[in-house]
Amino acid sequence: MFARTAEVRRRLLLAESDALLDDVEILRLNDASAAPVRLREAVRAMQIRLGRRNPPLPADTLDAVHDLVFAVQQRLMAANPRIPRPLRHTGRPGGQPIVARVREDRKWKLLTLPPPALNGDDAEWLELVDATIERAWDRWCYAHQHAIRAARLRVRPRLALAVAAVAWDNYWTLFQDAERIRAVFGRPAAETGAALRR
C-alpha cells in the first residue's frame, strides 16, 4: 500500500514538473528571460514537497528555473520502481564494497553489483553484473579451499569456516540480486561458472 501511494505521489510530482516546464517554454516563446515570482514560488513549493528543508527561492532567470525543474525531474525519474537497481550497502554509493569484520582479527571485503551504466547501455551493465558474480564465486571458492586446508592442518579452522560462510553469503546475495535484475529485462542468468555450479 505504501509503495503504491509513493508511486502515485511520484507521478503527480512528475506531472506538476511537466506543467512548470511548459510554463517556462511559454515564457521563452514570448521572449521573456526573467522568471515571475509565481513560477519561482511554485518550484520552491515542489522542492519542499520532495523533502528539501527550507530551500531558497530559485534565481529569477528562466534558465535557472529550467535547470532546477529539470534536476527535480531527473530525481523523480530515478525513483521509478520499474527501473532495476542493484542492492547496495547501507550508507555507501552503489557499486562500492565494504569491509566486514568476521572476527576481531579477520576482515572480508563484501562486493556489490555495479550501478547501471550512465550511458544507458544495459548490455554492458549486465556484463559487469555477471563479472561481479563470477568474482564473488571465485572469492568463495578461495575461502572454501582455505577452510578445508585449515581444517586438515588444524590451524584456526573455525575462523576459516567463518570467512567462508561470509564469502558464500555475499556471493548468494549478489546472485539473487542479479537474477532479480535480469528478470526485469527478461533475460536469463548468464552461463557463468558460478551460475552453472549453484
Same domain, 157 and 192: yes
Grid coordinates in use for 145? 579451499
Does 84 map to a domain? no
- Do residues 74 and 111 share a domain? no
Q: Are 72 and 112 in a shared domain?
A: no
Indicate the number of domains in the chain.
2
Establish if 83 belongs to a structural domain: no
Nine-digit cell string for 177: 540480486
Q: Please indicate, yes or no, if residue 156 is contained in any of the structural domains.
A: yes
Within the chain, where are the H helices?
Answer: 2-29, 37-49, 62-78, 122-153, 157-185, 193-197
Q: Is residue 90 part of a domain?
A: no
* The model's pTM: 0.53
Question: Do 125 and 193 belong together in one domain?
Answer: yes
The answer on 179 and 109 residing in a single domain is yes
Q: Which domain holds residue 168?
A: 98-197
Q: Select from 78, 107, 122 the last residue of a domain.
A: 78
Query: Digits of tens for pLDDT over the chain (198 positions)?
Result: 556 777 788 788 888 888 888 898 898 888 888 999 999 999 888 888 877 788 888 888 888 888 888 777 767 765 655 555 555 545 555 556 677 788 777 888 888 888 876 666 778 888 888 999 999 999 999 999 999 999 999 998 999 999 999 999 999 999 998 998 888 776 665 554 445 444
Tell me, yes or no, whether 175 lies in a domain.
Answer: yes
What pLDDT is stored for residue 58 in this prediction? 83
Q: Can you give the pLDDT at residue 148? A: 94
The closest of 146, 164, 175 to 102, measured between CA atoms, is 164
Confirm whether 39 is domain-assigned: yes
pLDDT given at position 187: 65
pLDDT in the model for residue 28: 85
Please check whether residues 57 and 108 belong to one and the same domain.
no
Asked whether residue 105 falls in the same domain as residue 29, the answer is: no
Closest of 135, 156, 134, 136 to residue 146, by C-alpha: 156
140-165 burial code (b ≥16 CB/10 A, e <16): bbebbebbeebeeeeebbebbbbbbb
Does 92 map to a domain? no
The answer to whether residues 103 and 46 belong to one domain is: no
Set of cell numbers at residue 39: 513560477
> Does 178 share its domain with 146?
yes
